[in-house]
Amino acid sequence: MMSRNALLRSGKGLGIPATAREEDKKTKLKVAALAPAEDRQSHFALRKGVRCAGVHLIIDLHGAKHLDDLEHIETTLRRCVEAARATLLHIHLHHFQPNGVSGVAVLAESHISIHTWPDAHYAALDVFMCGSADPDACIPVLRAAFSAKRVGVNEILRGHGA
């Protein structure tokens, strides 16, 4: 049997089951039907003239609020998906005890993940999207939703040259 991983050693309570939201309780985003393979455009992204597998934004929110509010986090992830013109497949959020949230919005174009430390007023997010989705559109949504005093963004072009 494998030893406890770093997440389990973090000291945050994992005894309470994860919160997986029922999609039928929320307004669903349209899920695009897949076109036949020969009709689909490349799922690669084009960024400043560079073809890559996708654009990966590493986002740090400092001085942020509402970082322990599952409803607010889910609503914000949905707003990011809409702003980026992406396709939501599933959202899964886990609320840690005594506080903090980790979660992911799985997209047809990849994902948005969030990890929060409410006591430090800090959240770390990954926004990775391929195709024509616009990951940059998530930044103002996140800044406003979490009232972040400072936002740091690093960009990685994944699969450059692939």
User: In sequence order, which residues have a C-beta less than 8 Å from that of residue 145 and are 6 or more positions away?
Assistant: 66, 72, 75, 76, 79
Are the C-beta atoms of 94 and 8 separated by less than 8 Å?
A: no
Known catalytic membership, residue 66: no
The one catalytic residue in 80, 95, 102, 110 is 110
Active-site residue, selected from the candidate residues 94, 95, 102, 130? 130
- Catalytic one of 113, 115, 121, 132: 115
Residue 115 annotated in active site? yes
> Would residue 62 show up in a list of annotated catalytic residues for this protein?
no
Which residues carry out catalysis?
110, 115, 130
